[in-house]
Amino acid sequence: MILDSGRQRSRNQRYPSVQQRFRTWCAECAIDPQAASAVAVINFLAQGRKENRWANSTVRSYRSAILDMLPDPAAVTSDPAFKEFFQALGDLTIRSFDRPTYDISTVISTFRRWGDNPTLAVTHLTQKLCWLLAMCGFLRPSDVARIDDDRTECNNNALKLVIVAPKEKRGGCRVEKVVHIHHHTDDRLCPVSAYRAYHARFDGPPDAVCHSDFAGVTYRPLIRSLRNPKEAIGAERIAKHINAVMGLIPLPAGAQRPKARALGSTRAAQAGASWTDILTQGFWASTGIFDTETGKGTGPTQ
């Protein structure tokens, strides 16, 4: 159960490149990577932070990968210098809650122009649907990829989506997340209408796929390949569809491009949505998670 868990398989896929990078650095410094001390790990991470401008999350991700390859990781993590390094890393970072304002009028005008065209390309329709689901449902690309379309309920007023085993957990267990998205008065901007139009472009449903973390769990995905409509696409391709629309948004000076789900929840708050509704829609356990999500991609000062 431990060695064959989905999380362990995912970790085994991500960690080798990081560990090889650490081994190469150790070879240059004449250090045995299997006997690396806390100081050696600190120096590697500090060098990457300074020279390559790694974000705090990257440093912590590399830390996990390196500790996973050491025979006695507890000896490193218990070292006072190791603890002090990560405390200093947090002390040197300033997280800003002064969010820039993003003008999405160009996206709205583009969707209205697309909506007037009855022969809208499937590529544009896919980009539009993925972006609307991310914005209105506060969904990650991996969430959109794991929508079980066999269990989707769609009527004139709302769209009910079931996401199989997303990133969120409850009580330490993976869950099935249910998201409700209501219609918009303008059909050209309506996620429910976009969903119906997307479905109408295909003759039949795609093939069922296995969940990446649960071999025995299958579902029929909503978003499919444009080249072969019977095949599903992954989170990376869905992220590219979303980013194609996000690229239409002009960026304020000094700001980075936000994630669609962060922009959606921020605009919901600015429009007067209650904290309770936002947390429920995002399936977040606390307002602290909302602050973290809306801060991603908006360029915190470091």
Domains of the chain: 6-91 (no CATH), 105-295 (1.10.443.10)
- Against a cut of 0.85, is the pTM above it? no
Q: Find the mean pLDDT for residues 52-75.
A: 90
Strand partners, 163: 147, 177
> pLDDT at residue 302 above 60?
no
Span 242-268, pLDDT tens digits = 999 999 999 888 788 889 998 998 888
Half-sphere exposure of 299 (CA within 13 A, CB side): 11
Residue 69 phi, psi (nearest 5): -95, -10
Helix (H, G, I), strand (E, B) or coil at 201: coil
Alpha helical stretches, state H, 174-226: 191-200
Span 197-235, pLDDT tens digits = 999 988 888 888 888 777 788 999 999 998 898 999 999
- What is the share, in percent, of the chain residues with pLDDT greater than 70? 86
What tokens does 155 get? Answer: 């009527």
